[in-house]
A and B are shown apart, each in its own frame.
Chain A
Amino acid sequence: MNDSSRISPGTWPLDESKLNFSAWAKRHLQSLLAALGAMSRAPLASAMTAAVIGVALALPATIAIALANTDQITERWEGVATLTAFMELGVDQATVAATADAFRLVRAVDRVDITTPQDALDEYRAMAGDNGVLDALGETNPLPWVLLVRVRPDAATAKSVEALAEELSQRPSVEFVDFDLRWVTRLNAITLLGTRISWVVALVLAFAVLLVIGNTIRLEIEHKRNEIEVLQLVGATHAFVRRPFLYTGVWYGLFGALFAGCVVSAALAAVEGPVEALANAYGSSLRLLWPGIVQTISLLAVGAALGALGAWLSVSRYLLVKQGTRSVDL
């Protein structure tokens, strides 16, 4: 015999009363605003909780924006990959010109510029200042001829530039080939490491945010124990009991994310001047990359989601623990 056949005609209906969408949306909006109102009644405590969450979110956000800036540097660098081919000492200008012409025939090469030993010496003199050391050389110039090889942008990957350097260094009269892509490769490796670290930090701190919000909500649940019991007594579902706490968690997460956004902006503002000075010193037009609308919305969404999740875990744990025990004291 199944259950329904045993139930008498007077059986109480226990089916969920489905709300229509506008009623449902209204309830949620009310909860959303009520949670904000409750927080505003204890502004200092709420602000401090949000600030703690904000600090926890600010660190991974700062790392993320720093990495975005580093990516920008490596991308620019790869775009102008340049090889420097040092000629053997004592080769004559004709040989150098011939080598340069040979280089120009290589597919990956964009253009080749020739630096004479005299140019190099002048450049060095300009950089190092007239300190007498160069004068001691007299008329002899110890510097070699140099070919500056600009790589075509489409061939400017670490691998192809390395292959090109290898190929060019095999040419006669070429002493050796240097390229700054090694530096880019290292930077790439560092960036990769940084990305990994930021993920680890972000995960650990996301966990911290969950704990902070979970604990804040737990205290609020303790504070409202009586109210929750009365609500359950008059037939409130778990979802009904949970909803205001979820929205409180969402607000904490959102305000925490806003706080984190302010921290990141302040940090960027603080380093913007020095970064510009550094870029200028390198003759680069690089400018600091600020977080865009997508990153800002992502930060807020992550904050809100962590807030909701932390609150959900906290309330669910409370409801689960209570389910097995005496739920209401008469």
Chain B
Amino acid sequence: MAKSEAEVAQGPTVTAAGDGKGTAAHPLPDADTCRELLETMALIRRFEEEAGRQYQQAKAGGFLHLAIGEEATIVGTTSVMRPDDYLIGTYRTHGHAIARGTDPKNVMAELFGREDGCSRGRGGSMHIFDPERRFMGGYGIVGGNLPIAAGLGLASDYKGEDSVTVGMFGDGASNSGNFGETMNLAALWKLPVVFLVENNLYGMGTAIERHSAVTDLSRKAEGLGVPGVRVDGMDVLAVREIVSEHIRRAREDRQPTLVEAFTYRFRGHSAADPEVYRTKEEVEEWRKKDPITVFRDRLVAEGVISDEAVDEIRERVEKRVLEAVEFADASPEPPLESLYDHLYVVGDQVPGWYAVDERTPEPHRGEEEWEIGAAGEARKLAEAGAAYAGRQSSRGRGPEQTMDDRDAADALEDRDEDEPEEGPG
């Protein structure tokens, strides 16, 4: 159900921090802060564009969810958080980590699945993580991060610390059972959490009117004890003002709240999205509210920043992003022998079989008696990933056949079971 232009136009109007005045209503912070906000948003934008391009070139695999258009919600929020506050997000969090200070190099390397990725290629685009900056993760399960946010808040409370957790999630997650459960628990236990719903109007390809009976998400947790407020998520200053007040309420009043930030992703849900569910006109309408260009134009118009300074920002972020790509490209792929790393913390417990292939020097007992050919990459892969596939594997490999002639890629590929492998050995 495509929205009419009138509906689209109406969206942000009602969301502008509730005062209907839009950006101009928010006085500018000092010049340095303004420049920093602009540069961080620009860095995220440029990073995401480049990530999209690298994905097209198959440098990054899996799904890629870009936050282009949502930068003001991200940066407005992180810019009013303390270093000891926790941030936890969704599967669209390259920008959140970067805004918290994670080096774009490590984020890009994670997208590339490389050794220097922030999760060393274990998590990928959907699971960015940087505990040093208390960015407690991107999460691939819609709504799965909500109770974890409550848990982070509980830990602050339990330890008598005044750190606050900001738990960000999408409009689609407001329909998950976790949403209701977590709001109730957070309110019941007075946890210092700001729940921030990045309402980009679509749960994947389903418009909010089609997925949520109550479309005013700021009110959706009221009955569970969590009051909410709406904010124009395309306006970095509006987000700063509202989130900063709600962080204060969490920190000082121990009142969890729900902030609904209206935002919009200019790109599809993921890089593999044909976008049949919305019109080009709608996207164009929102592009007029581009959080970066609108803010930049205002800074230039009010003389806070010169055109030259804008160019310098552009050059700096360009350089950082290209360096990130270069860094990620140069980073090695994780070695096969690292496959089981960090599956368990192996302490002073007696050795048992934690995982297949993990706790015994001879995963294939008696294997030496078998003729399975020379040790090649294929065998290494097979052993690393399917330690007990055994001699009669699911691929139907006969006892006489060897693996000599199969290269690494071949060994990982699914084979058509009906298609006989090479003739009988």
Q: Do A and B bind each other?
A: no
